[in-house]
Structure 1
Amino acid sequence: MAAGPTSLELVVLGLLKEQDMHGYELKKRMTESLGPIMHVSWGSLYPALARLEAKGAVKAVEARPAIPNIPMTGSLGGEKAAFRSTSEGLRGSRNKKVYGITDIGSALFSGILNDDNEIDEKGFAVRLAFANHMDPEKRLKMLRDRRDLILERVKSSRRSFEKKRFAFEPYVELVLEHFRSTNSSDLAWIEGLIAKEESSTQNPGTDFLVSQEIQDSL
């Protein structure tokens, strides 16, 4: 059975929806935009592009390099040298394989984003990065599911902390306290995202019982 699309493939499709790019540009954009989320090497990027191309999700498109102005130096020899250098640069640009997303790729990208299956930490971060492409209802559901998951983590860490409070294991308590503090911060953050999403979709209804439960857990 073939493996499903990876987070890296989702990122590639998302970036190619913005514009056609060659491998170097894709890697640069990933590093600049998603560096904290995922580290991408050449050894993983090009195989991902090959898999997507085999699926018909991306295709090679013709590069259209800009033609730079050749400076007028006043020296015929200097201008010839500049022209030769520019021509060689353009030939190099044309040799680079530029990728573009296809209709199949756009459908695949949308399907992954709006999938209701449970996702891991990296998968959530990547989907959130491209959440502007999601259906509003799916986006709100993803955030609420994430909130429920974090809330359960907060409860679990609270129970563990209370059990260990009087044990002679100070470093265990420090770890549990850090875990609880981090999840509490994440919970407040996700609640803020949900509130903004509900407001933007003209659906301001809130669940008071859940909100009160969250306050009691912090």
Structure 2
Amino acid sequence: MGVRGSMLELAILGELQYPLHGYELRKRLSRAIGPLRRLSFGSLYPALHRLEERGLIRVTSPTSPGPRMPAKTPTESTSSTRKLVLYQVTPVGTEYLTASLAGADVDDEALPLTIGLMSKATPATRLKLLKERREQVLARQEAGREAKQSKDFWIRSKAELDSQQAQSELDWLDQLIQSDGGPAVQGGPAVEPSK
């Protein structure tokens, strides 16, 4: 299971608040996307190249000799002189990240990355995304009610598990919405307080 290119680019921008080399960036992103997904260098480096072309990140090589890079092939000398390349978000990239988070995905696939980027979002964007996710979970929970009536024991059991997981996520989302300054949410869909 991969990561959508647009979400990967936002995650990269979120991690590059200070200079990182590709290997360290991949480790951090892999932690962010979770153990069930895999981030390959074949996905990471093209995304870095696209971000650099758009001026959202800058690529530098330290002027002092850095650590020697391991050989790429068995015939290459282990004392390769390939330079350590560092990546860092630019001011334009930071602005792009903040603006793009307002439209970030909150579906099951994108949620881990989106949650990992919440600290870079404005309070209004965080609240919007949390409410969008809450509506998705409520819809999923409602759709599962029919499965709970199935004559098949295993379908009913799966529906019960889904319902428990959905309720747990709803409780978690409500807590986040409340702690982030949003309105209290009880029972159905979130309701804005009247002004």
Residues 186 and 65 of structure 1: CA distance in aligned 2, closer, same or farther (over 3 Å): farther
Q: Is the 8 A contact 1:22 1:97 kept in 2?
A: yes
1:77 corresponds to which residue?
none
Letter in 2 for 1:56: G
2:134 corresponds to which residue?
147
1:97 maps to which of 75, 85, 93: 85
After superposition, the C-alpha distances for 1:96-116 in whole angstroms (9 at most, x for unaligned) are 22112122211221121122x
2:10 corresponds to which residue?
10
After superposition, the C-alpha distances for 1:28-70 in whole angstroms (9 at most, x for unaligned) are 22234443474211111111111111212112123266989xx
Residues 119 and 191 of structure 1: CA distance in aligned 2, closer, same or farther (over 3 Å): closer
Aligned residues: 176
The CA distance in 1 between the partners of 2:65 and 2:167, in whole Å, is 50
Mapping of residues 47-62 of structure 1, within 5 Å: 47-62=46-61
Which stretches in structure 2 are left out of the alignment for 5+ residues?
68-77, 190-195
Shift of 1:190: 1.0
User: 2:194 aligned with 1:194, yes or no?
Assistant: no
1:182 maps to which of 158, 161, 165: 165
Shift of 1:160: 2.8
2:147 maps to which of 142, 154, 160: 160
37-46 or 183-192, larger mean C-alpha shift: 37-46
Residue identity over aligned pairs, in percent, reads 28
1:75 corresponds to which residue?
none
Q: Is the 8 A contact 2:13 2:93 kept in 1?
A: yes
Q: Is the 8 A contact 2:21 2:84 kept in 1?
A: yes
1:130 corresponds to which residue?
117
The CA distance in 1 between the partners of 2:127 and 2:146, in whole Å, is 29
> How high is the TM-score relative to the length of structure 1?
0.70
User: 2:98 aligned with 1:110, yes or no?
Assistant: yes
The CA distance in 2 between the partners of 1:63 and 1:5, in whole Å, is 28
The CA distance in 2 between the partners of 1:32 and 1:64, in whole Å, is 30
The CA distance in 1 between the partners of 2:141 and 2:86, in whole Å, is 46
Residues 157 and 64 of structure 1: CA distance in aligned 2, closer, same or farther (over 3 Å): farther
User: 2:183 aligned with 1:212, yes or no?
Assistant: no
Letter in 2 for 1:7: M
Shift of 1:149: 1.5
The CA distance in 2 between the partners of 1:159 and 1:64, in whole Å, is 64
The CA distance in 1 between the partners of 2:164 and 2:128, in whole Å, is 25
1:84 corresponds to which residue?
none
User: 2:154 aligned with 1:171, yes or no?
Assistant: yes
| Structure number, greater radius of gyration | 1
Shift of 1:182: 1.4
Q: Is the 8 A contact 1:7 1:122 kept in 2?
A: no
Q: Is the 8 A contact 2:20 2:86 kept in 1?
A: yes
Residues 65 and 192 of structure 1: CA distance in aligned 2, closer, same or farther (over 3 Å): farther
> How high is the TM-score relative to the length of structure 2?
0.77
After superposition, the C-alpha distances for 1:104-139 in whole angstroms (9 at most, x for unaligned) are 211221121122x65432323212111111111111
